[in-house]
């Protein structure tokens, strides 16, 4: 009889073990799923709040920058120069313009004096064109600025300048070079390439 009881006991023990194991696995899965849900919910909430905060700050910054970012365009003209390619000669033809900051004194408000019906007798002379004054001011820097543009672009290869990232890097370097030339008198807001042909 002892021999007949052993296999039954083993089967009951195995069945209990399997049931306990399955129950443990199910419980662990439920706990894991619950913890995972809570963690993911918190992470998603944090990301959403971060994104909405960033968008609000960006919207605020954009409004302020629109007012500050309008400058004066100075056309530096066309450049034809050799690039730094080793295997074959490559040329770049580019038109460069810069946008520089305005000064408070650039555009003084014009006050018209009333002449009292004398047909213009005794009226103040018309003020000089503000844009002409600014162009004259920038003309003194033009040789150094053109030299900085030539030095920067001619040190690049056609491969570097063929990519958008390469062009943006060149613009950033030109901006830094010109800002050091202007010495704080004005600041470059943007460098723009008009025509851009590599041959």
Mean pLDDT of the residues in the chain: 78
Instruction: With a cut of 80, say whether residue 61 has pLDDT above it.
Output: no
Q: Which residue has the higher pLDDT, 49 or 180?
A: 180
More confident site: 59 or 135: 135
- Give CA torsion, residues 81, 84, 89, 94, to 10 deg: -30
Q: What is the pLDDT of residues 145-195, one digit of tens each?
A: 999 999 999 998 888 888 889 899 999 999 999 999 888 888 888 899 988
pLDDT of residue 150: 92
The confidence score (pLDDT) of residue 95 equals 92
Query: Under a CB-based contact definition with an 8 Å cutoff, are residues 72 and 99 in contact?
Result: yes
- Above 60 in pLDDT, residue 110? no
Model pTM score: 0.55
**C-alpha distances out from residue 13 to 5, 6, 21, 148, 158, Å:** 12, 10, 12, 87, 78
H-assigned helices in the chain: 2-68, 130-139, 142-154, 158-162, 164-182
Cβ neighbours, 10 Å, residue 52? 10
Instruction: Give the lowest-confidence range in 45-54, 85-94, 109-118, 176-185.
Output: 109-118
The larger pLDDT score, comparing residue 32 to residue 116, is at 32
pLDDT at 66: 47
Q: Identify the residue with better confidence: 4 or 106.
A: 106
Distance in angstroms (rounded) separating the CA atoms of residues 16 and 33: 25
CA dist 3 → 8, 10, 15, 38, 179 (Å):
9, 11, 19, 53, 98
pLDDT of residue 13: 85
What is the rounded CA–CA span in Å between residue 2 and residue 135? 113
**Contacting residues for 92 by C-beta, under 8 A, at least 6 apart:** 79, 80, 81, 82, 83, 153, 154, 158, 161, 196, 197, 198
Has residue 26 got a pLDDT over 90? yes
pLDDT value of residue 86 = 84
Distance separating alpha carbons of residues 126 and 120, to the nearest angstrom: 12
Q: What is the pLDDT of residue 113?
A: 45
Q: Which residues pair with 193 in a beta bridge?
A: 96
């Amino acid at each position: 009889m002892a021999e007949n009881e052993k296999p039954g006991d083993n089967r009951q023990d195995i069945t209990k073990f399997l049931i306990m194991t399955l129950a443990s696995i199910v419980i662990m899965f439920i706990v894991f799923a619950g913890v995972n849900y809570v963690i993911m919910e918190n992470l998603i909430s944090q990301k959403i709040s971060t994104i909405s905060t960033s968008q609000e700050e960006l919207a605020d910054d954009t409004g302020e920058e629109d007012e500050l970012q309008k400058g004066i365009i100075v056309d530096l003209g066309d450049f034809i120069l050799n690039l730094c390619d080793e295997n074959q000669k490559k040329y770049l033809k580019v038109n460069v313009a810069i946008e520089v900051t305005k000064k408070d004194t650039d555009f003084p408000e014009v006050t018209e004096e009333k002449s009292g019906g004398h047909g213009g007798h005794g009226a103040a002379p018309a003020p000089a064109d503000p844009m002409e004054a600014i162009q004259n001011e920038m003309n003194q820097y033009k040789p150094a600025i053109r030299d900085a543009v030539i030095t920067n672009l001619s040190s690049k290869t056609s491969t570097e300048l063929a990519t958008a990232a390469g062009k943006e890097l060149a613009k950033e370097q030109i901006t830094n070079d010109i800002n050091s030339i202007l010495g704080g008198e004005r600041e470059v807001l943007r460098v723009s390439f008009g025509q851009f042909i590599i041959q």
